[in-house]
Copies of this chain bind each other. A is one copy, B any other.
Amino acid sequence: MPSKITPRDKDYSKWYLDIVQEAGLAEASGVRGCMVIKPHGYAIWENIQASLDRMFKDTGHVNAYFPLFIPKSFLAREEEMAEGFAKECAVVTHHRLKAVPGQGLIVDPDSKLEEELIVRPTSETIIWNTYKNWIQSYRDLPLLINQWANVVRWEMRTRLFLRTAEFLWQEGHTAHATQAEAEEETRRILDVYRTFAEDWMAMPVLCGPKSDGQKFPGAVYTVCIEAMMQDKKALQAGTSHFLGQNFSKAFDVKFQSNEGKLEYPWATSWGVSTRLIGALIMSHSDDQGLVLPPRLAPIHVVIVPIYRKEEERKSVVDACHELAQAIRSHDIGAWLNRNPLIVKVDDRDQHQPGFKFNEWETRGVPVRVELGPRDLAAKACVLARRDLPGKEAKLMGIPLAEAPARIFDWLKAMQSDLLEKARRFRTANSFHVETYDDFKKKIDEPGGFIWAHWDGSRETENKIAADTMATIRCIPFDRSKDPGKCMVTGKPSEARVVFAKAY
């Protein structure tokens, strides 16, 4: 049957939205810029949360919850933060509606708040206002806290998952006795993000600082993980900020050091959001629909019973459920943090197998099992893998007793194959350029990650952005020493930085 999904090379943006819709991940709501995350999309987010949360806890962090609302005066205390977020925030000004005959429900003017409240765009200010009570002595440090929450930024141009007025995220906020510890934490978390991106999302990332022009408002510096999407654009997938003493000073938080001196603690903050679901989609999916790395898939295996006659139905469906149980019981160690594989038997009567195959392919289930009367007679089944092309994608006549192990092998292989494929794609679309003319050509066609020399100035960065729409995505930690001259100004440069157009 014809796919409802626009091919990538025809219209990439439309392809993305088609996948989001046809895979049942999210949709626009009746509220400007806010999305509804549908059950299949939310299940991916739950898997992302579960594995990241485990990693945060394994590195000593605990969760807490801080208020949704931030008094306007809090935002005003840190200048860069106020500048960065004031332009796009939801402001609560009243606390009551009233019904007025003829006008319906109106905002009650008598309920005006003395001080307006901002719906949190990020929580540094409200959290550091709280930390003032929690931090007195070096014994109270480090404070390693994370929050899972919704935040709001009044974006004008929104796109499902990638940029929405409200989104879900986690935000870590830590306080340390020394600068060195805080910087170490900034890097430790970036390493957690990199590990998560590679091992769970099967998404290779560049790691390194942002340029000053791209850092978080209020940070001393920001380090990031940066991924390449299938249209060769960059997507910032996670950021970790070294905040120095900016927030401890703005909120007057001091502690007594072990030498008895009063000092300002050092801070970090870091976050990833539902944007990662957009990154997942654009890293792996194809023109048939969603492709998910198995470790984050809400359903790992779908079993489709195949029968023509009603008298075949029961034995085939029973065999499917028996196989499902065997797969669920298969020992997969810690591959899913000690959770079992999720297996669904699609025994709906109203649909034909072809319809079901198509539906589960669109929704990104990694492995499909087909089981009919002839298979059953031979005590075998057919396996199909979502990410492989043509004949490679099918294994016929797999003995039922072997199926759970074969399926798990395939899931592991698919997980690493997706990472390798994405890595090859990134390598094939990364270029070194020497001149600004060449840069301006390449950034449009073929596009990709352009490694070029830059003089380190904000001015040059802004000029390049104005000329080409490309920005510095990352100054990779592991870039090789390669001194040269800035492609724009000719001033000296130690090593190349990575430019790209970005989401």
Which of A69, A76, A98 is packed against the most chain B CB atoms within 10 Å?
Answer: A69
**A27 touches B (CB below 8 Å):** yes
- As a 0/1 sequence over residues 354 to 390 of chain A, the CB contacts with chain B under 8 angstroms (1 = contact) are 0000000000000000000000000000000000000
* Inter-chain contacts of A87 with B (CB < 8 A): 96-98
How far apart sit A145 and B24, CA to CA, in the bound complex (Å)?
A: 14
Interface flags, A74-91, vs B, CB<8A=1, else 0 = 111000001100111111
Given B91, B117, B149, which contacts A95 in the complex, CB threshold below 8 Å?
Answer: B91
Assembly CA distance A111 to B90 (angstroms):
10
Cβ < 8 Å to B, chain A residues 5-45: 27, 29-31, 34-39, 42-43, 45
Chain B residues with CB below 8 A from A315, complex form: none
Q: Give min CB distance, A257 to chain B, whole Å.
A: 15
Partner among B27, B126, B149, B154 whose Cβ is within 8 Å of the Cβ of A29: B126
Q: Is the beta-carbon distance between B97 and A86 smaller than 8 angstroms? A: yes
Closest to A168 in B: B65
Query: Contact: A91 with B97, CB < 8 Å?
Result: yes
Q: Is A72 among interface residues, defined by CB-CB distance under 8 A?
A: yes
Asked if residues A99 and B126 are in contact (CB atoms below 8 Å), the reply is no
Q: What is the CB-to-nearest-CB distance from A65 to chain B, in angstroms, rounded to a whole number?
A: 4
Check if A480 is an interface residue, CB within 8 A of chain B. no
- Among B31, B67, B76, contact of A34 (Cβ-Cβ < 8 Å): B67
Contact B97 A67 (CB under 8 A): no
Whether A2 sits at the interface, judged by CB under 8 Å, is no
Are B91 and A105 in contact (CB-based, < 8 A)?
no
Q: Contact between A95 and B88 (Cβ–Cβ < 8 Å)? A: yes
| Copies of the protein in its oligomer | 2
Q: Which of A53-85 contact B (CB under 8 A)?
A: 62-76, 82-83
Say whether A457 faces chain B, with CB atoms less than 8 Å apart. Answer: no
Question: Scoring A residues 148 to 174 as 1 if CB is less than 8 Å from chain B, else 0, what string do you get?
Answer: 011010100000000000101000000
Q: A70-B31, A71-B31, A104-B76 given as contacts; is B92 within 8 A of A64 (CB)?
A: no
Chain B residue nearest in CB terms to A134: B38
Task: Give the contacting residue for A67; candidates B35, B45, B126; CB below 8 A.
Answer: B35
Q: At the interface, yes or no: A438 with Cβ under 8 Å from chain B?
A: no
Contact across chains for A97 and B119 when beta carbons are under 8 A apart:
no
CB of A462 within 8 Å of the partner chain: no
Q: Is A93 an interface residue (CB 8 A)?
A: yes
- In the complex, how many angstroms separate the beta carbon of A115 from the nearest chain B beta carbon? 9
Is the pair B89, A91 in contact by a Cβ cutoff of 8 Å? no
Q: Is A306 an interface residue (CB 8 A)?
A: no
* Contact residues in B for A98 (Cβ distance below 8 Å): 86-87
Q: Known contacts A105-B75, A119-B68; is A89 also within 8 Å of B93 by CB? A: no
In the assembled complex, how far is the CB of residue A22 from the closest CB belonging to chain B, in whole angstroms? Answer: 14
Q: Is A3 an interface residue (CB 8 A)?
A: no
Asked if A99 and B70 make an inter-chain contact with CB atoms under 8 angstroms apart, the answer reads: no
Q: In the complex, which of the residues B27, B65, B76, B133 contacts A37, with contact meaning CB atoms closer than 8 Å?
A: B65
Is the beta-carbon distance between A89 and B82 smaller than 8 angstroms? no
Report Cα–Cα, A126/B117, bound state, in Å.
23
Q: Are B36 and A67 in contact (CB under 8 A)?
A: yes
Which one, B68, B91, B130, contacts A150 given CB within 8 A?
B68
- Residue of B34, B65, B74 touching A68 (CB-CB under 8 A): B34
Taking the closest CB of chain B, its distance from the CB of A114, in whole angstroms, is 9
Residues of chain B with a CB closer than 8 A to A42's CB: 62-65
A94 within 8 A of B: yes
Flag if B64 contacts A76 (CB, 8 Å).
Answer: no
Question: Considering the chains assembled together, what is the distance between the CA atoms of A105 and B236 in angstroms?
Answer: 30
Out of B35, B46, B133, name the residue touching A27 (CB < 8 Å): B133
Q: Which residues of A contact B (CB under 8 A)?
A: 27, 29-31, 34-39, 42-43, 45-46, 62-76, 82-83, 86-99, 104-105, 107, 111, 116-119, 126, 129-130, 133, 139, 145, 149-150, 152, 154, 166, 168, 338, 350
Instruction: Name 8 extra pairs, CB < 8 A, besides A34-B68, A37-B64, A72-B105.
Output: A27-B133, A31-B67, A91-B92, A91-B94, A91-B111, A97-B118, A119-B119, A150-B150
12 A–B contacts, CB within 8 A, in A order:
A29-B67, A30-B130, A39-B63, A42-B65, A43-B63, A45-B65, A83-B99, A87-B97, A88-B95, A92-B92, A96-B154, A150-B150
